[in-house]
Amino acid sequence: MRTTVEISEQFQGPPGLGNGGYVSGMLASYLPAEIAAQGIESTLRAPTPLDVPLEILREATGVSAHSGDVLIGEAIPAAFELEIPSPPSFAQALAAQAHSPALDPHIENVVSGGLGFHPVCFCCGADVPKGVGLRVFAAPVTGFEGVAAAWQPDAAFRDDAGVLPTSVVWAALDCPGQFAYLADDIRTGLLGRMTAKILAPVVGDVFVITGWRIAVEGKKHFAGTALFDSNGRCCAYSKQVWIGRRD
């Protein structure tokens, strides 16, 4: 089956390009729920243009997105498990938030004059208003080997049943993986692949999202992220491959 979709400017990551987690989650959302419960691997093959029609091709083996003759990305079933570190509390993550690279006025960033590392990013952009961006501000937390964000998603992102959709959950899981490296000033480049599993419907007003390093292989930086509800239950997790420079 074929259909078309447009990624609007709201869902950008790097300026003028689609947010990797959002695009990956958008692709994942086309696969059946029984597959999503086991895990989905989304691979980004090219930067995602904004506000142009993308052709979505759904086949028995997965789904892919194309811009003209360019393959943008593809998602396939990929059952996987990941060891999830115990998270800090919401209060601990909130107390650390001021130290997030997303809020650092002095960090080298991609938008001159903007606040933080990725000022316009749908996930972590500090210059994006509530209800437009997710405002996931991950920061190092004492006693946790990684970063964590105290996240309070705006009601604008929930569906009629109060559930955060797949594309939003994947987007929220995106940047904390990069920030786990950025906490030690390691620049990881762009998201290349994200494998994620949503364990339960993501509902509620407050969450903790964690990110931690897994391994480095050349210019491939592997990270894990997880999302926990107010009761400390893990609702979703991911393994990521970030591809880029090694500092």
Q: What is the pLDDT of residue 230?
A: 96
User: What's the token pair of residue 6?
Assistant: 């447009």
Residue length of the chain: 247
HSE, CB side, 13 Å, CA atoms: give it for residue 181. 28
Sketch out the chain's domains with CATH numbers.
2-77 (3.10.129.10), 90-243 (3.10.129.10)
Q: Are strands 40-44 and 54-59 parallel, antiparallel or unpaired?
A: unpaired
pLDDT of residue 245: 62
Residue 113, pLDDT score? 87
Within the chain, what is the greatest distance between any pair of CA atoms?
Answer: 49
Q: How far apart are CA 21 and CA 8, in angstroms?
A: 14
Q: Which 3-state string (H, E, C) describes 161-213?
A: CCCCCHHHHHHHCCHHHHHHHHCCCCCCCEEEEEEEEECCCCCCCCEEEEEEE
Distance CA 46, CA 53 (A): 15
Residues 247 and 235: their CA atoms lie apart, in Å, by 33
Which positions ≥6 away from 194 have C-beta within 8 Å?
Answer: 20, 21, 24, 41, 42, 170, 173, 174, 238, 239, 240, 241
Per-residue pLDDT at 20: 98
Q: Cα-Cα-Cα-Cα dihedral of 153, 127, 173, 85, to 10°? A: -90
Parallel, antiparallel, or unpaired for β 207-217 and 190-198?
A: unpaired
Q: Is the pTM of this model over 0.85?
A: yes
Residue 246 pLDDT: 46
Averaged pLDDT, groups of 10, the chain, 247 residues long: 95 96 97 88 98 95 96 96 97 98 92 92 97 98 97 96 97 98 92 96 96 96 98 97 74
Q: Of 44, 69, 52, 43, which Cα lies nearest the Cα of 16?
A: 52
Cα distances (angstroms) measured from residue 17 to each of 23, 81, 85, 214, 221: 10, 30, 32, 27, 21
Tokens found for residue 33: 């729920």
State residue 244's pLDDT score: 78
Q: Count the Cβ atoms, other than its own, within 10 Å of residue 25.
A: 27
Identify the CA nearest to 188 among candidates 152, 147, 144: 147
